């Protein structure tokens, strides 16, 4: 038992000491403990929140939701602009891009936008809080919880160890998708009057699936090409993105294909 604990402590110490020194002092980056505590709190809320609200009236929260979603549209738009602009200014390769660990202006700017992308994943946990307060438990699916919780962990690891390089491609695509996703959420929260303008929900899911195909292809290519970006992160990204693709594809089938088939029968 003692040796096992020592081994875990050694790995924890190694994880702390081998991150990118440029980002190590940034908020929530140095240690995995704050993020772990946040995730534990989030999962407890997922379990206990609906029970707490079961005997209470749902909150409408139209104003706060509109502000929240608009804020995330603007933040996602800023992230997309930064990822794309920095990659172009620094002549990033869209096939193989190692991390620039220097303290040059563009390298630090890329590291900072990676941190903001990570921080946005912490903010997006509020999606679930709003579902709980509005008593919409059907929205708190396994896909929803898995996606929110794991994205936060993945981006923490990215900012801690590889803030840039190949990660810019993932952040750029994801931010673009989130512009449209939170625009949809923002319009939907305004009520039934907006329903005629939300016909494009199905295409939003298709856009998300295309994103996963692009990221999977990008990561897979770099496993077979000679690229000085850690294979471990490429493999983790590949497997994780495949899991999201499978879950979103199942959502698409259940929501748009199965439901349509049942209506026809």
Structure confidence by residue, pLDDT tens digits, 132-173: 999 998 999 999 999 999 999 999 999 999 999 999 999 999
Banded pLDDT at 6 (limits 50, 70, 90): confident
pLDDT digits (tens, 9 = 90+) for 14-46: 778 889 999 999 999 999 999 999 999 999 999
7 compared with 130, residue with greater pLDDT: 130
- Tell me which residues are annotated as active site: 147
Q: How far apart are CA 201 and CA 198, in angstroms?
A: 6
Q: How far apart are CA 83 and CA 80, in angstroms?
A: 5
With a pLDDT cut of 90, the percent of the chain lying above it is: 77
Residues 6+ apart with CB under 8 A from 142: 247
Banded pLDDT at 264 (limits 50, 70, 90): very low
Instruction: List, in sequence order, every beta strand (DSSP E) within the chain.
Output: none
The pLDDT of residue 260: 61
Cβ contact 131:140 at 8 Å: yes
Tell me how crowded residue 43 is: count the other CB atoms within 10 A of its CB. Answer: 13
pLDDT digits (tens, 9 = 90+) for 72-93: 999 999 999 999 999 999 999 9
First to last CA, the chain: 60
Long-range CB contacts (within 8 A, 24+) of 149-154: 149/39, 149/42, 149/43, 150/240, 151/121, 151/124, 152/35, 152/38, 152/39, 152/118, 152/121, 152/122, 152/125, 153/35, 153/39, 154/236, 154/237, 154/240
pLDDT digits (tens, 9 = 90+) for 107-135: 999 999 999 999 999 999 999 999 999 99
pLDDT digits (tens, 9 = 90+) for 44-74: 999 999 999 999 999 999 999 999 999 999 9
Cβ contact 177:215 at 8 Å: no
């Amino acid at each position: 038992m003692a040796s096992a604990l020592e081994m875990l402590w050694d790995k924890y110490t190694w994880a702390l000491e081998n991150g990118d020194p440029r980002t190590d002092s940034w908020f929530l980056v140095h240690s995995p403990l704050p993020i772990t505590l946040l995730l534990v709190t989030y999962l407890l809320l997922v379990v206990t929140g609906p029970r707490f609200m079961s005997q209470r009236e749902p909150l409408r929260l139209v104003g706060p939701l509109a502000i929240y979603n608009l804020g995330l549209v603007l933040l996602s738009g800023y992230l997309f602009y930064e990822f794309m602009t920095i990659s172009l200014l620094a002549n990033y390769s869209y096939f193989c891009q190692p991390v620039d660990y220097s303290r040059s202006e563009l390298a630090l700017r890329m590291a900072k936008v990676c941190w903001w992308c990570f921080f946005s994943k912490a903010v997006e946990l509020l999606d679930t809080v709003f579902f709980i307060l509005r008593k919409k438990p059907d929205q708190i699916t396994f896909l929803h919880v898995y996606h929110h919780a794991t994205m936060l962990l993945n981006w923490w690891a990215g900012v801690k160890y590889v803030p840039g390089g190949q990660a810019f491609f993932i952040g750029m695509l994801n931010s673009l998708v989130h512009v449209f996703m939170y625009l949809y959420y923002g319009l939907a929260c305004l009520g039934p009057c907006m329903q005629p303008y939300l016909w494009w929900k199905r295409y939003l899911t298709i856009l998300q699936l295309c994103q996963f195909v692009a990221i999977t292809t990008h990561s897979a290519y770099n496993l077979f090409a000679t690229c000085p970006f850690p294979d471990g992160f490429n493999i983790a990204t590949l497997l994780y993105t495949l899991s999201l693709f499978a879950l979103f594809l199942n959502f698409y089938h259940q929501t748009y294909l199965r439901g349509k088939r049942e209506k026809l029968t």
